[in-house]
């Protein structure tokens, strides 16, 4: 198996598959409704919905970088405001997360092995190569999945 295929597998497992760490992001989100997603049960913490939009933004950024584009996530894109808290808007947010993540997995899987240590366009730190970017987005999803799990627990307490 190539290294990009391994990285894509890790992305898949963090998002929807079985992994040794516990539940995937989609499993954690499975029983979250719009009301739960929009709630702020912990003072000064982002909502589940805001975290989903944040994950989508960063998956999209890494996808565009894999396509050779310079990409920066603005502060507005980083944690977009949730203005419509309807059930339809929540379903749309989760669906966009799934679509963006699926595109990212496919791009990582198809990424040429020999390019993994090339610097990401627009990044100046020598360590910020594609391998760093792809493994980092896995870590990013797992970190926020843990936050979402805690937000769910806080709402049920």
Enumerate domains of the chain plus CATH numbers: 3-156 (1.20.120.450)
What pLDDT, on a 0 to 100 scale, did the predictor assign at position 44? 93
Within the chain, residue ranges assigned H as helices are 3-15, 25-29, 34-38, 48-66, 75-78, 87-110, 130-156
3-state class of 102 per DSSP? helix
Q: Model's pTM, two decimal places?
A: 0.95
Tokens 């050779």 belong to residue: 68
Give pLDDT tens digits along the chain (157 positions).
Answer: 899 999 999 999 999 988 788 899 999 999 999 999 999 999 999 999 999 999 999 999 999 999 999 888 888 999 999 999 999 999 999 999 999 999 999 999 999 999 999 999 888 788 899 999 999 999 999 999 999 999 999 998 7
What pLDDT, on a 0 to 100 scale, did the predictor assign at position 125? 83
What pLDDT, on a 0 to 100 scale, did the predictor assign at position 122? 85
Contact between 87 and 1 under an 8 Å Cβ cutoff? The reply is no
What pLDDT, on a 0 to 100 scale, did the predictor assign at position 126? 83
- CB count within 10 Å of CB 81 equals 7
What pLDDT, on a 0 to 100 scale, did the predictor assign at position 31? 96
What pLDDT, on a 0 to 100 scale, did the predictor assign at position 23? 92
What pLDDT, on a 0 to 100 scale, did the predictor assign at position 55? 98
């Amino acid at each position: 198996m190539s290294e990009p295929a391994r990285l894509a597998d890790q992305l898949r497992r963090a998002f929807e598959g079985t992994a040794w760490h516990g539940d995937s992001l989609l499993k954690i989100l499975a029983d979250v409704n719009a009301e739960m997603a929009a709630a702020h049960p912990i003072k000064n913490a982002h909502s589940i919905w805001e975290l989903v939009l944040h994950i989508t933004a960063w998956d999209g950024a890494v996808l565009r970088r894999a396509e050779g584009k310079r990409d920066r996530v603005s502060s507005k894109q980083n944690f977009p405001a949730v203005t419509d808290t309807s059930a339809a808007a929540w379903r749309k947010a989760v669906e966009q997360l799934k679509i963006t993540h699926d595109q990212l997995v496919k791009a990582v899987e198809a990424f040429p092995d020999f390019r993994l240590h090339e610097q990401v366009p627009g990044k100046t730190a020598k360590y910020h190569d594609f391998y760093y970017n792809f493994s980092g987005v896995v870590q990013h999803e797992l970190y926020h999945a843990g936050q979402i799990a805690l937000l769910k627990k806080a709402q049920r307490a």
